[in-house]
Amino acid sequence: MRLLIKNGYIIDPAQGINGGKNLLIEDGRVGGLFGYRESVPDDVEIFDATGLIVAPGFIDMHVHLREPGHEYKETIASGAAAAVAGGFTAICAMPNTDPINDSAAVTRFIIEQAAHADLAGVLPIGAITKHSLGTELAEMGEMKEAGIVAVSDDGRPVPSAGMMRRAMEYACGFDLPIIDHCEDKSLVRGGVMHEGHWSLLLGLRGAPAAAEEVDAQRDCALAELTGARIHLAHVSTRGAIEAVRRAKQQGLSVTCEVAPHHWALTDAAVAGLAGNGPGGTDGIAYDTNMKMSPPLRSQDHVEAILEGLRDGTIDAIASDHAPHHADEKALEFDEAPFGITGLETSVGLAFEQLVRPGFISLERLVELCSTNPARILSLHDRGTLRAGARADVTVLDPEFAWTYDLSQSKSKSRNTPFDGVRFTGAAIATIVQGRIVYLHPAYSRVTDKHQTVALS
């Protein structure tokens, strides 16, 4: 079957294309890009993308789908639904499930579940070590056969440099990038928020920026030693970004990603709105929706992130979508688990705080969300709209005004600080292998011949 996305503005950095073109999709693949006035076959569905941006499908490289094991927080199906609602055609599933994804069997299970859901593509990430315990290597070869696209010990950082070196060397053999969660636990020592003025004032144990920097620098040195491809997950500090910058200058294969909450909020957010009001109950002080790892940092680090996004040091935006049940987040700040959801707010936050204020261009946004993730993960038929590529397309409306209504979220979990926040700019349609799997309810840009959209 054929779908023609008509009158849209194509941004495809991989091909250097930035202009008005029609996009033809055939049997789940890109048929080609055509000029507006070129003739159109008769038997096509038409999606009218006038005034909209048409980009290669967005890929979120860092998502926690809690299946197998913690389905009460999120399932592969609900996560995939949230993903397409957020404009993502594919997401990478981190291995810290229960059982941990350190085997071909679990990898295959995840892929099967994703196929049933039939929404966003789910690309599993395998564990670096068995059970993520940090002592023995996991069967990366077997997992690669089964379909992983990278390895990571996210949530449980590889504790020793020696072990990390082995992991890098071994992963190299299968051309798998290593995604590292940089955190020196001995420096963090139970810290629940960024160590700084606010942690002191709030009386909470702090996790210093140095804990991330130390590991980031270690990884870069090891990347040099081993020649491996390393990708730093959710960088949040000036020091880590600096380390990546230097590594790139040296020609090392080091890439990194940033999560939207790290540029959208600072550690002051833990203290509540506008500082504490009379009686201390104004604003929400100690809101566990401000608790994540790495923690929200101070303004200086936020600025380093913005610089890194602009100058190319940061390669990708990845949400680190971390769903947790309301009961778990309703505990005291010290006890609550780390993390917030993010699939449905990523693009909105990127528009609101990066594109609209002019920090980055729309083209750079597409690079960060599609082109680069595909490149880092060696997904050759994704991240681009060249002929023959998978027909994964994200359609964006940079002017669309909307409010995030948490009650309508497709995720099973509700742990986000962004409920009720107003945004301008969103992904309004998500197309996976030529099928429109998500269309924003406010949109009716599709003609009568439009197929029924398969929504979960």
Partner 1 sequence: MTTFGLKHLLGIRELSPDQIVHLLDTAETFRDISKREIKKVPALRGRTVINLFFEASTRTRTSFEIAAKRLSADAINISVSTSSVAKGETLLDTARNLQAMAPDCIVIRHSSAGAPYHLARACDAAIVNAGDGAHEHPTQALLDALTIREHQGRIDGLKVAIIGDVLHSRVARSNIYLLAKLGATVTVAGPGTLVPAEFGGLIEQGVRLARRVEEAVVDADVVMILRVQRERQTDAFLPSMREYAVHYGLHLNHLDLAAPDAIVMHPGPMNRGIEISSEIADSGRSLILDQVTNGVAVRMAVLYLLAGGVSSGEQSADREVGNGTARNGTVKRQRRKRSLREDL
Q: Of residues 163, 221, 284, 406, which one binds partner 1 by CB under 8 A?
A: 284
Q: Of residues 177, 196, 294, 383, which one binds partner 1 by CB under 8 A?
A: 196
Q: Which region, judged by CB under 8 A, interacts with partner 1, from 36-44, 69-77, 202-210, 346-354?
A: 202-210
Q: Which of the 8 DSSP states describes residue 272?
A: -
Half-sphere exposure of 400 (CA within 13 A, CB side): 22
The minimum distance between CB 70 and partner 1, in angstroms, equals: 19
Residue 201 in the binding site for partner 1 (CB under 8 A): yes
- Per the DSSP assignment, residues forming a β-bridge with 427 are 396
Catalytic residue IDs? 320
Reply yes or no: is the peptide bond before residue 13 cis, omega within 30 of 0.
no
Reply yes or no: is the peptide bond before residue 208 cis, omega within 30 of 0.
no
Asked if 453 and 85 touch (Cβ cutoff 8 Å), the reply is: no
Q: Which region, judged by CB under 8 A, interacts with partner 1, from 35-43, 79-87, 171-179, 195-203?
A: 195-203
Site of tokens 């008005």? 20
Q: Which region, judged by CB under 8 A, interacts with partner 1, from 19-27, 226-234, 257-265, 280-288?
A: 280-288
Residue 332 in the binding site for partner 1 (CB under 8 A): yes
- The CA–CA distances, whole Å, from 430 to 84, 90, 140, 209 equal 6, 10, 32, 37
Q: Which region, judged by CB under 8 A, interacts with partner 1, from 20-28, 70-78, 281-289, 443-451?
A: 281-289
The site string for partner 1 over 286-315 (x = CB under 8 A, - otherwise) reads: x-----------------------------
What is the distance between the alpha carbons of residues 253 and 40, in angstroms, rounded to a whole number?
43
Asked if 296 and 422 touch (Cβ cutoff 8 Å), the reply is: no
Angle, CA 95 vertex, CA 379 and CA 167 arms, to 5°: 75
The minimum distance between CB 200 and partner 1, in angstroms, equals: 5
184: its two tokens: 């020196």
Residue 146 in the binding site for partner 1 (CB under 8 A): no
Residue 84 in the binding site for partner 1 (CB under 8 A): no
Measured from the CB atom, the residue of 225 and 331 that comes closer to partner 1 is 331
* Residues of the shown chain interacting with partner 1 in the complex, contacts defined by CB under 8 A: 195-197, 200-205, 276-281, 284-286, 327, 330-335
